Amino acid sequence: MTEPITPDTPAGGPGKPANDGSRRTFMKQAGGILGLALAPPFLSQAERLTALSRKVEGVSALSLKVNGTVRTIQAEPRVTLLDALREYLDLTGSKKGCDHGQCGACTVLVDGRRVNSCLTLAVMTQGKEITTIEGLAKGEELHPMQAAFLKHDGFQCGYCTPGQIMSGVACVQEGHAGSEAEVREWMSGNLCRCSAYPNITAAILEAAKSS
């Protein structure tokens, strides 16, 4: 396996190359048993040992740049980005539907790319730009994707919606909103049990046109 399954892997399309520096930073911070358990096979033996040698146990300060503002929380290295947002920063717009990368409700942008924040450890996103649903609108003015979801009724219960919208924003940026079929395909990682799919697709196509 050459391509590690980490949030550095683009969720699809032309993303930036994975940032090895930040991954090492994380390894050093997380360290210990956790580091070993998580150390993916692409790391060299030396790197694994380095990871083991620096160990941070228990709660430590994490600085996350969310929606342009750096905020510091006291949390264990095992805290996911999703839980950091929801439970530590009270940014509950990002939703937990499965906690296992199966539903997309937790989708946020990290350095502009969509990731499942439930599969991302908060420590790994230090120094990166995190954008959540709360950071999309400019004051009272909705982001065009939000406005299109509202207009096309791209939701019912609204629980999958922040994830759909973040994913939709990335889908357009990736250049994957060229046709109805393309949108459907590239939005299929975001489940909607209310089944607003046709309306979601219409909303994204419209927002893509206007962008």
Partner 1 sequence: METNQTKNAPTNVVGKPLDRVDGPAKVTGAARYSAEISVPGTVYGVLKTSTIAKGRITSIDTSRAAKEPGIITILTHENLPKPAKTPQQVEKWRAAQSYLPMQDAQVQYAGQPVALVVADTLERATQAAALINVTYQAEAPIDSFHDPKAELFDPQKIQQGKKDSHVVRGNPQQAFDGAAIRHEATYVHAINHHSPMEPAATLAVWEGADKLTVYESSQNVTMHQGALADLLGMPREQIRVVTKYIGGGFGCKGSFWPHTILTVLAAKAVNRPVKLALTRQQMFTGVGHREDQEQTLKMGTTADGKLVSLVHTKRATTSPWDNYTESNGKILDMLYACPNYSTTYELARANVMTSVWMRAPGEAPGSFALESSLDDVANQLGLDPLEIRLRNYADYDHSNGKPWSSKSLKQCYARGAELFGWDKRQAKPGQNRRGRLLVGHGMATASYPVHSSQGTARVRLFADGHAVVEAGATDLGTGTYTVMTQVSADALGLAPEKIRFELGDTRLPTAPGSGGSVAAGTVASSIMAAAEDVWDKVVKMAVADKKSPLYKAKPADVKVELGRMFLTKDPQKGETLVAALVRSGQPDIEGSGTGKYGAGYEEKNFGQNGADPNNDSKEKKTGGHSMHSFGAHFCEVEVDPDLGTVRITRWVGVHGAGTVLNLKTATSQMIGGAIYGIGAALMEETHRDASFARYTNADLAGYHIPVNADIPEIKVEFVPESDPYINYLGVKGIGELGMVGVAAAVGNAIFNATGRRLRHLPITPDKVLEALRQPA
Supply the DSSP symbol for 74: E
CA distance 56 to 31: 6
Would you say 133 or 170 has its CB closer to partner 1? 133
Residues in contact with partner 1, shown as a per-residue x/- string from 93 to 122 under the rule CB under 8 A: xxxxxxxx-xx-x-----------------
CA distance 90 to 93: 9
Q: Does the protein bind ligand FES through residue 157 (CB under 6 A)?
A: yes
- Phi, psi torsion values for 158, nearest 5 degrees: 85, 0
CB of 45 to partner 1, least distance (A): 29
CA distance 7 to 91: 20
Cβ burial, residue 106 (10 Å; 0-12/13-18/19+)? buried
Residues that bind ligand FES (CB under 6 A): 96-99, 101-106, 116, 118, 155-161, 192-194, 196
Residues that bind partner 1 (CB under 8 A): 58, 75-76, 78-79, 83, 86-87, 90-100, 102-103, 105, 132-134, 136-137, 142, 146-147, 149-151, 153, 155-162, 165, 183-185, 187-201
